[in-house]
């Protein structure tokens, strides 16, 4: 069975590498983007089952990107990782929020819950 294709958007190279590795070890296909411009370009030519954006790093631009994705691709699932102190006034975006302080197991569990809910 082919696993879901995921785009991971994170400006911290080390964190991005570790999260991508965790996802690949679970069998997911993972593309990465270090900037929102790079993420825009990748989503324009490739469909992803899930887009993960580190809101703690990108803050408001990350939320704006999420809303743009939802407008262009209404079925697109978006997971946001954020610092515990950020408040998100959620409307249609994101589908799920995970605090970075909760650790890698919570991250993987959140990804799998969201992907399983859309299968």
pLDDT, tens digit, 9 for 90 and up, residues 42-59: 999 999 999 999 876 566
Which domains are delineated in the chain? 5-118 (3.40.50.2300)
By C-alpha distance, which of 72, 113, 119 is closest to 95?
113
How far apart are the C-alpha atoms of 103 and 22, rounded to whole Å?
12
Are 111 and 102 within 8 A, CB to CB? no
Secondary structure (DSSP) of 21-72 = HHHHHTT-EEEEESSHHHHHHHHHH---SEEEEEHHHHHHHHHHHHHHHHHH
Distance CA 103, CA 35 (A): 23
Over range 68-91, report the average pLDDT.
79
Q: State the average pLDDT over residues 4-28.
A: 92
Predicted TM-score (pTM) of the model is: 0.88
Residue 96 has what pLDDT? Answer: 86
Check whether the bond before 105 is cis (ω within 30° of 0).
no
Is residue 16 pLDDT above 70, yes or no? Answer: yes
Q: Hey, which residues does 51 pair with through a beta bridge?
A: 7, 78
């Amino acid at each position: 069975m082919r696993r879901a294709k995921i785009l991971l958007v994170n400006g911290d190279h080390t964190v991005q590498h570790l999260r991508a590795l965790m996802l690949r070890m679970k069998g997911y296909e993972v593309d990465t983007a270090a900037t929102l411009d790079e993420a825009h370009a990748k989503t324009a030519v490739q469909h992803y089952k899930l887009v993960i954006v580190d809101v703690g790093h990108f803050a408001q631009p990350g939320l704006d990107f999420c809303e743009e994705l939802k407008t262009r691709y209404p079925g697109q699932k978006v997971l946001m990782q954020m610092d515990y102190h950020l408040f998100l006034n959620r409307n249609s975006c994101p589908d799920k929020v995970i605090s970075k302080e909760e650790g890698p197991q919570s991250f993987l569990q959140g990804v799998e819950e969201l992907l399983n809910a859309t299968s």
